[in-house]
């Protein structure tokens, strides 16, 4: 894989870009969900990969939609 060094972000930079913690980015890398390259013992990710990453939906049953609230006279609040 040929990577332009200008496209690479450190784990800290990637975390700031996504608004998450460094640990979260590290977990994604270790789980193989975010591709990374190791250079001199440090992990780097491509900016495009970070921006295009979307978390998978949470497993389990989706939450119920709350019913619309109405006033005593039957009007919507």
Distances (CA, A) of 38 to 3, 49, 56, 70, 73: 12, 15, 25, 57, 65
Report if pTM > 0.75: no
CATH numbers and ranges of domains, the chain: 5-52 (1.10.10.10)
Give 15-72 pLDDT, tens digit per residue: 999 999 999 999 999 999 999 999 999 999 999 999 999 877 778 887 788 877 666 6
């Amino acid at each position: 894989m040929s990577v332009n060094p200008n496209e690479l972000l450190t784990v800290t930079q990637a975390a700031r870009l996504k608004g998450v913690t460094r640990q979260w980015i590290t977990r994604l890398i270790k789980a193989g969900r975010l591709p990374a390259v190791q250079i001199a013992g440090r992990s780097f990710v491509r900016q495009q990969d970070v921006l295009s990453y979307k978390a998978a939906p949470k497993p389990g049953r989706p939450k119920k939609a709350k019913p619309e609230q109405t006033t005593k006279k039957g009007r919507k609040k």
